[in-house]
């Protein structure tokens, strides 16, 4: 295994700055790693070796001139396939977009390119980000590098698996109900869902516009902060993006890494622990809270009584928005086009119907039906309207809790990674995975998941939530947890992951 | 079909008008593409107005400003806070299969427009004016109807997709009775005048800048309930608005008189045959699944901005009509006819360009109204500008042409032969007042009519008319009749004292 792929993005950036390595060398090392392990993991839907190496060469030339486009200039990255990319297909894990190459870059992708980061490829995901296991990808599931029989979480299982399999030092994910944080938890990686509006959504193929947020998927908290700093900030193309400077997330991560949390008030959310949480998960959580106390934090229990309704509200708002967003996939302008069988000269409507029938998977159809129903006249008030009221109550719960505590903490997911196929036929059981992550999306607040150890040999995640715009706090606390735990483990949690079967790569 | 007058003896009509105004902003409602009319198909497009996956809208501030100004001019309240909403339905010319519109939070609401109908003022109450985006434009090729059914294939041009629209919706207009068709027409005309005065749209009905949907229902006379309505879509001229209302009144009346129920549906207006035909059936239950557009932030115009915009409004139309009538010295009847013909703005611009009020009125309401009528178009759609009309009148005033020749100048300008002076030149229409040519023609006429000449010499000056006629004929009308008369009398020694 190449030494380069084991290093963090911050270390790679330092090595590039020192002239110890080149962007081409480390991009090639990651492409080799992808070739070696991705047959087993299937984190990527598309790998762009040529494009990545071309960008790496440019980065090296820039550095040779004594210039640098960003702190991460030359460090390669993987991008979730829900973000548009010029020159690379963007399928959203769906048949209906098979082969579609967008004519424009998502703003975050444009910022990566401008920052000099070679794009390794596009990562696998549940179709249109609908799922918690990446099993709903039309292109086959991604496997958890800790146990290839198990799910890597979802919807962003591809990005989480790519970084935890050392097939990318950095990745972008998107989080609508936990799609960055839950995969991070079950793969032993770091995932951040920033404040809603903190990072541009332009070019993010929307599942639920009012909940979606782009964020970093990495192996260390500092790497996440460096990536956040690069892609964050106002975008005139996204009216919902916040016109304020990005909080000093890198500084906060560095501060947290000192391990000093004196003066910090930490709230344990009563409703997000205990019943329904796997014993090992709960145990790792309790131990981590104890570490926070050791670091000088004051821990209190807080109650957010309306969180128990979060899942129900989420499964009305998200499908409602999704049902409308997905209406555009109608075979008229791009993507899949299926003509109905046995119909001569089919009408536009018949082609739309046949295409949508063939192009969307079951989970997508399930949510389109749910959302269409929830928005129907006569039901709107009882479903969509009521869900919005609950959303308001959840925001108020957060506001009240943040009066008592600077950050809130919980396990990221109720269980460790389950077996592939185990919950496929039980959508409700699948939905329960996002129980602890969904409230943050409904309220628009930032959250991080950092590794908290293993339960029965599988990673457990620790979630930190902060008030909107206070993203720096989740980095500070996340980094403190990371420092304390890696000290105790004698190295990153991922060092404990079993070696992956590799395919010999001919060079 | 029931006779119109008979229908109104039995039923009370209720009208509703929905007018879409395409704004003349430089860019589209939610993206930076040019909003200009025309262009090669699918060239004024980008990821946003094509609805590509991942694209997002950004509100055009100028469109919001225009919407507020329209709302203020229609005496509406302006929302302090309002949102866009998605109107969900599938149609190939809708890039996202939802239209970004406004639903229960329009930017402007609760207003009115007073319209003049044959000297009587009707207050048309405005329920709302809201912002939305236009759809693309479908062309259905093959088949006989030009509609999607029966077409071999369809072409879609998305240049129009995303152009800002303001939809202005009236409350039901009741009590107009037999004047309902005229009220409908006058409302659309006077609304168009207002839009033009605001300068927020080209407001050309023939180009679809201004499109009217006419809702109509009948209720038994004296009933205080509204009947089932039909919605006649895209009625694209003032005349057609009037005709469509008349047609639907007769059609509804026949159905109701036969004891049948009117079907709630959209109907298509056929300009050529003057009838409506059934479109798709539509019930109130047609479900657009509206919900607030999550990709846009609310529009919250400050009170200060709204007041600033109020200061930019043109004069109130009713007050303006009174002022102009006084300034121009028009009789009530003249003013009413001018407004009724949809010529107020045209006459005003012609006067501004230098013509005398009566002359401006005369040309627009007689000569040009006749031509518009013959061609079945609106006055404003004629290929002549108020400035050109004023110039023609100036030519008359300068004695360069007479009224008869002026009509030929109109022919030339309308035929696209250029500016009035160029037409006079090219067609050789200038009146001959050159005494040399005239003198020869007078001599010819005297020689050819010795009897008449003798009478004039004998003092019968009234007989000169015959000789003048002969001269004018020879000069093909291009002579100054007054000068001809002078010459004849001079040559025959029969001065008029
Ligand atoms: Zn555009």
Reported as type and span, the H/E element at residue A268 is strand A265-269
Which residue in the set B51, B154, B287 is minimally distant from A328, CB to CB?
Answer: B51
Residue A334's closest chain B neighbor by CA?
Answer: B52
Which residue in the set B56, B152, B289 is minimally distant from A237, CB to CB?
Answer: B56
Q: Is B57 on the interface with A (CB under 8 A)?
A: yes
Tell how far the Cα of B46 is from the centroid of ligand 1, in angstroms: 4
Q: Is A324 on the interface with B (CB under 8 A)?
A: yes
Confidence (pLDDT) at B147? 66
Confidence (pLDDT) at B495? 60
Tell how far the Cα of B51 is from the centroid of ligand 1, in angstroms: 9
Judgement on whether residues B367 and B246 belong to the same structural domain of the protein: no
Looking at the domain assignment, is residue B98 inside a domain? yes
In this structure, the dihedral spanned by the alpha carbons of residues A33, A36, A38 and A39, taken in order and rounded to 10 degrees, is 170
Domain-terminating residue out of B395, B410, B427:
B427
Q: Tokens in use for B260?
A: 């049948």
Domain-terminating residue out of B260, B276, B308:
B308
Contacts within 8 Å (CB) and 24+ apart, B414-417: B414/B371, B414/B382, B414/B383, B414/B384, B416/B383
Judgement on whether residues B302 and B347 belong to the same structural domain of the protein: no
Mean pLDDT for B381-392 is 93
**B265 vs B269: CA distance, rounded Å:** 13
**Domain-by-domain residue ranges, chain A?**
3-307+392-496
**B399 vs B401: CA distance, rounded Å:** 5
CATH of the domain at B446: 1.10.10
**A294 φ, ψ to 5°?**
-60, -35
Tell how far the Cα of B138 is from the centroid of ligand 1, in angstroms: 18
Contact B54 A384 (CB under 8 A): no
Q: Is A412 helix (H, G, I), strand (E, B) or coil?
A: coil
Confidence (pLDDT) at B285? 52
* Residuewise pLDDT in 10s, chain A (507 residues): 448 999 999 999 999 999 999 999 999 999 999 999 999 999 999 999 999 999 999 999 999 999 999 999 999 999 999 999 999 999 999 999 999 999 999 999 999 999 999 999 999 999 999 999 999 999 999 999 999 999 999 999 999 999 999 999 999 999 999 999 999 999 999 999 999 999 999 999 999 999 999 999 999 999 999 999 999 999 999 999 999 999 999 999 999 999 999 999 999 999 999 888 999 999 999 999 999 999 999 999 999 999 999 999 999 999 999 999 999 999 999 999 999 999 988 888 899 999 999 999 999 999 999 999 999 988 999 999 999 999 999 999 999 999 999 999 999 999 999 999 999 888 888 888 899 999 999 999 999 999 999 999 999 999 999 999 999 999 999 999 999 999 999 999 999 999 999 886 555
Contact B291 A327 (CB under 8 A): no
Determine the length of chain A: 507
Confidence (pLDDT) at B497? 44
Domain-terminating residue out of B284, B308, B332:
B308
Of the listed ranges B382-386, B443-447, B466-470, B491-495, the least confidently predicted one is: B491-495
Q: Is A369 on the interface with B (CB under 8 A)?
A: no
Contact B294 A100 (CB under 8 A): no
Judgement on whether residues B25 and B169 belong to the same structural domain of the protein: yes
Looking at the domain assignment, is residue B171 inside a domain? yes
Contact B291 A83 (CB under 8 A): no
**B54 vs B180: CA distance, rounded Å:** 48
Mean pLDDT for B335-359 is 90
Confidence (pLDDT) at B284? 53
| CB contact residues (below 8 A), chain B span 95-154, against chain A | 95-98, 148, 152, 154
Q: Is A69 on the interface with B (CB under 8 A)?
A: no
Contact B54 A204 (CB under 8 A): yes
Which residue in the set B92, B148, B297 is minimally distant from A239, CB to CB?
Answer: B297
- Catalytic annotation, pick one of A8, A23, A80, A189: A80
- Considering only CA atoms, which of B170, B176, B167, B182 is closest in space to residue B339? B182
Given the structure tokens 């001139």, which residue do they identify?
A65
Q: State whether the Cα torsion B22-B23-B26-B29 is positive or negative.
A: negative
Q: Is B291 on the interface with A (CB under 8 A)?
A: yes
Residue A211's closest chain B neighbor by CA?
Answer: B294
| CB contact residues (below 8 A), chain A span 118-157, against chain B | none
* pLDDT tens by residue, B170-215: 999 999 999 999 999 999 999 998 999 899 999 988 888 999 999 9
Tell how far the Cα of B43 is from the centroid of ligand 1, in angstroms: 9
Judgement on whether residues B42 and B84 belong to the same structural domain of the protein: yes
Judgement on whether residues B298 and B366 belong to the same structural domain of the protein: no
Whether B435 shows a pLDDT value over 80: the answer reads no
Residue B100's closest chain A neighbor by CA?
Answer: A324
Q: Is A382 on the interface with B (CB under 8 A)?
A: no
Which residue in the set A236, A240, A328 is minimally distant from B95, CB to CB?
Answer: A328
Which residues of chain B does A327 touch, with a Cβ-Cβ cutoff of 8 Å? 88, 90, 96-98
Tell how far the Cα of A347 is from the centroid of ligand 1, in angstroms: 27
Q: Compute CA distances A199 → A40, A108, A245, A477, whole Å.
A: 33, 8, 11, 21
Contact B289 A372 (CB under 8 A): yes
ipTM of this predicted structure: 0.95
**A306 φ, ψ to 5°?**
-85, -5
Given the structure tokens 């040779």, which residue do they identify?
A64
Residue of A101, A239, A337 to mutate for B, most B C-beta atoms under 10 A = A239
CATH placement of domain A3-307+392-496: 3.90.1300.10
Q: Is B166 helix (H, G, I), strand (E, B) or coil?
A: strand
Q: Provide the shortest C-alpha distance from residue B31 to chain A (in Å).
A: 9
Residue of B42, B50, B54 to mutate for A, most A C-beta atoms under 10 A = B54
Which residue in the set B53, B88, B92 is minimally distant from A84, CB to CB?
Answer: B53
Which residues of chain A does B297 touch, with a Cβ-Cβ cutoff of 8 Å? 239-240
* pLDDT tens by residue, B301-321: 999 999 999 999 998 877 888
Contact A84 B148 (CB under 8 A): no
Confidence (pLDDT) at B146? 63
Confidence (pLDDT) at A1? 41
Q: Is B83 on the interface with A (CB under 8 A)?
A: no
Looking at the domain assignment, is residue B406 inside a domain? yes
Q: What share of chain A is helix, strand, coil (3-state, %, to 5)?
A: 45, 15, 40
Contact A210 B96 (CB under 8 A): no
Which residues of chain A does B295 touch, with a Cβ-Cβ cutoff of 8 Å? 201, 206, 209, 238-240
Judgement on whether residues B455 and B483 belong to the same structural domain of the protein: yes
Q: Is A97 on the interface with B (CB under 8 A)?
A: yes
- Considering only CA atoms, which of A211, A171, A205 is closest in space to residue A191? A171
* pLDDT tens by residue, B75-127: 999 999 999 999 999 988 999 999 999 999 999 999 999 998 988 889 999 99
Confidence (pLDDT) at A506? 53
Q: Is A376 a catalytic residue?
A: no
Mean pLDDT for B424-452 is 83
Judgement on whether residues B217 and B355 belong to the same structural domain of the protein: no
Given the structure tokens 């939530």, which residue do they identify?
A465
Average pLDDT, chain B: 91
Contact A324 B51 (CB under 8 A): no
| CB contact residues (below 8 A), chain A span 247-306, against chain B | none
Judgement on whether residues B423 and B457 belong to the same structural domain of the protein: no
Judgement on whether residues B57 and B30 belong to the same structural domain of the protein: yes
Q: Is A476 helix (H, G, I), strand (E, B) or coil?
A: helix
Q: Provide the shortest C-alpha distance from residue A424 to chain B (in Å).
A: 27
Q: Provide the shortest C-alpha distance from residue B417 to chain A (in Å).
A: 44
Judgement on whether residues B146 and B259 belong to the same structural domain of the protein: yes
Q: Is A189 a catalytic residue?
A: no
Looking at the domain assignment, is residue B497 inside a domain? no
Which residues of chain A does B138 touch, with a Cβ-Cβ cutoff of 8 Å? none
Which residue in the set A206, A240, A327 is minimally distant from B90, CB to CB?
Answer: A327
**A37 φ, ψ to 5°?**
-110, -15
Helix axis angle, B180-198 to B344-352, nearest 10°: 40
**SS3 per-residue string spanning A143-188:** CECCECCECCCCCCHHHHHHHHCCCCCEEEEECCCCCCHHHHHHHC
Judgement on whether residues B301 and B321 belong to the same structural domain of the protein: no
Residue B148 lies in domain: 4-308
| CB contact residues (below 8 A), chain A span 164-193, against chain B | none
How many beta-carbon pairs below 8 A join chains A and B? Answer: 104
Q: Is A270 a catalytic residue?
A: no
Which residue in the set B51, B92, B295 is minimally distant from A239, CB to CB?
Answer: B295
Distance from the first to the final alpha carbon of chain B: 69
Looking at the domain assignment, is residue B281 inside a domain? yes
Judgement on whether residues B235 and B349 belong to the same structural domain of the protein: no
Number of folded domains in chain B? 3
- Considering only CA atoms, which of B71, B12, B1, B58 is closest in space to residue B309? B71
């Amino acid at each position: 295994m190449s030494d380069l792929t084991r290093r963090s993005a911050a270390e790679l950036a330092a090595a590039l700055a020192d002239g110890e390595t080149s962007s081409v060398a480390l991009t090639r090392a990651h492409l080799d790693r992808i070739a070696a392990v991705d047959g087993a993991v299937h984190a990527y839907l598309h790998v762009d070796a040529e494009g990545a190496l071309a960008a790496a060469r440019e980065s090296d030339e820039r550095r040779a001139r004594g210039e640098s486009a960003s702190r991460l200039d030359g460090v390669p990255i993987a991008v979730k396939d829900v973000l548009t990319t010029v020159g690379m297909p963007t399928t959203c894990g769906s048949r209906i977009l098979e082969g579609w190459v967008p004519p424009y870059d998502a703003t975050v992708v444009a910022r990566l390119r401008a920052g000099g980061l070679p794009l390794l490829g596009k990562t696998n995901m549940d179709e249109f980000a609908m799922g918690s296991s990446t099993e709903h990808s039309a292109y086959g599931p991604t496997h958890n590098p800790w146990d290839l029989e198990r799910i890597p979480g979802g919807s962003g299982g591809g990005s989480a698996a790519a970084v935890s399999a050392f097939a990318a030092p950095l990745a972008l994910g998107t989080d609508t109900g936990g799609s960055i944080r839950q995969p991070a938890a079950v793969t032993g990686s770091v995932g951040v869902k920033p404040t809603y509006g903190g990072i541009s959504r332009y070019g993010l193929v929307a599942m639920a516009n009012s909940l979606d947020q782009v964020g970093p998927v990495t192996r260390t908290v500092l790497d996440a902060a460096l990536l956040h700093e690069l892609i964050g900030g106002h975008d005139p193309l996204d009216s919902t993006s916040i016109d304020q400077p990005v909080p000093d997330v890198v500084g906060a991560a560095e501060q947290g890494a000192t391990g000093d949390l004196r003066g910090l008030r930490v709230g344990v959310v009563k409703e997000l622990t205990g019943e329904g949480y796997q014993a090992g998960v709960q145990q790792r959580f309790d131990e981590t809270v104890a570490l926070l106390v050791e670091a000088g934090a004051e821990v209190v229990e807080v109650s957010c009584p309306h969180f128990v309704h979060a899942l129900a509200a989420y499964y009305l708002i998200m499908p409602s928005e999704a049902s409308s967003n997905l209406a555009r996939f109608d075979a008229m302008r791009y993507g899949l086009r299926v003509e109905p069988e046995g119909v001569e000269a089919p009408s536009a409507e018949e082609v739309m119907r046949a295409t949508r029938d063939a192009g969307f998977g079951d989970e997508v159809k399930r949510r389109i039906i749910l959302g269409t129903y929830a928005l129907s006249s006569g039901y709107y008030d009882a479903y969509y309207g009521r869900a919005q009221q609950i959303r308001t109550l959840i925001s108020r719960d957060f506001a009240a809790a943040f009066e008592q505590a600077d950050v809130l903490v919980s396990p990221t997911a109720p269980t460790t990674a389950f077996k592939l196929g185990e919950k496929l036929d039980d959508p409700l059981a699948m939905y329960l995975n996002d129980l602890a992550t969904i409230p943050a999306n409904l309220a628009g607040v930032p959250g991080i998941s950092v590794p908290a150890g293993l339960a029965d040999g599988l990673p457990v995640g620790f979630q930190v939530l902060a008030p909107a715009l206070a993203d720096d706090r989740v980095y500070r606390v996340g980094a403190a947890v990371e420092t304390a735990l890696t000290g105790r483990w004698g190295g990153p949690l991922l060092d404990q992951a079993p070696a992956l079967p590799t395919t010999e790569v001919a060079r | 079909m029931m006779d119109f007058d008979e229908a109104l003896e039995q039923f009370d009509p209720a009208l509703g008008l929905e007018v879409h105004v395409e704004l003349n902003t430089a860019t589209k409602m939610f993206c930076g593409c040019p909003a200009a009319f025309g262009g090669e198909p699918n060239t004024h497009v980008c990821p946003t107005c094509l609805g590509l996956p991942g694209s997002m809208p950004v509100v055009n501030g100028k469109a919001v400003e225009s919407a507020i100004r329209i709302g203020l001019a229609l005496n509406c309240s302006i929302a302090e806070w309002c949102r866009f909403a998605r109107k969900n339905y599938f149609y190939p010319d809708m890039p996202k299969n939802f239209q970004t519109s406004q639903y229960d939070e329009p930017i402007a609401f609760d207003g009115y427009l007073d319209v003049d109908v044959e000297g009587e003022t009707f207050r048309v109450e405005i329920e709302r004016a809201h912002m939305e985006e236009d759809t693309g434009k479908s062309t259905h090729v093959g088949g006989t109807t030009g509609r999607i059914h029966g077409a071999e294939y369809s072409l879609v041009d998305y240049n129009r997709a995303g152009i800002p629209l303001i939809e202005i919706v009236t409350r039901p207009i009741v009590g107009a009775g037999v004047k309902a068709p005229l009220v409908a027409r006058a409302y659309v005309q006077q609304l168009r005048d207002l839009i033009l005065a605001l300068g927020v749209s080209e407001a050309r009905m023939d180009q679809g800048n201004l499109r009217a949907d006419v809702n109509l229902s009948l209720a038994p006379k004296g009933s205080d309930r509204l009947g089932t309505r039909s919605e006649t879509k895209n009625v694209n001229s003032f005349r057609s608005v009037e005709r469509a209302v008349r047609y639907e009144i007769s059609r509804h009346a026949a159905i109701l008189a036969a004891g049948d129920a009117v079907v709630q549906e959209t109907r298509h207006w056929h300009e050529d045959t003057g009838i409506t035909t059934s479109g798709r059936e539509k019930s109130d239950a047609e479900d657009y699944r509206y919900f607030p557009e999550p990709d846009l932030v609310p529009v919250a115009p400050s009170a200060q901005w709204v007041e600033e915009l109020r200061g930019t409004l043109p004069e109130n139309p009713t007050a303006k009509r009174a002022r102009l009538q006084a300034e121009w010295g028009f009789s009530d009847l003249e003013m009413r006819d001018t407004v009724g013909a949809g010529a107020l703005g045209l006459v005003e611009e012609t006067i501004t360009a230098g013509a005398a009020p009566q002359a401006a009125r005369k040309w627009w309401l007689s000569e040009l109204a006749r031509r518009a009528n013959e061609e079945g178009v609106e006055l404003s759609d004629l290929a002549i500008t108020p400035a050109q009309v004023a110039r023609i009148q100036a030519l008359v005033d300068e004695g360069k042409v007479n009224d008869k020749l002026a009509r030929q100048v109109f022919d030339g300008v309308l035929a696209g032969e250029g500016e009035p002076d160029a037409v006079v030149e090219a067609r050789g229409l200038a009146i001959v007042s050159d005494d040399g040519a005239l003198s020869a023609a007078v001599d010819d006429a005297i020689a050819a009519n010795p009897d008449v000449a003798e009478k004039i010499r004998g003092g019968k000056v009234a007989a000169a008319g015959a000789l003048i006629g002969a001269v004018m004929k020879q000069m093909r009308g291009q002579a100054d009749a007054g000068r001809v008369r002078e010459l004849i009398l001079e040559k025959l020694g029969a001065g008029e004292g």
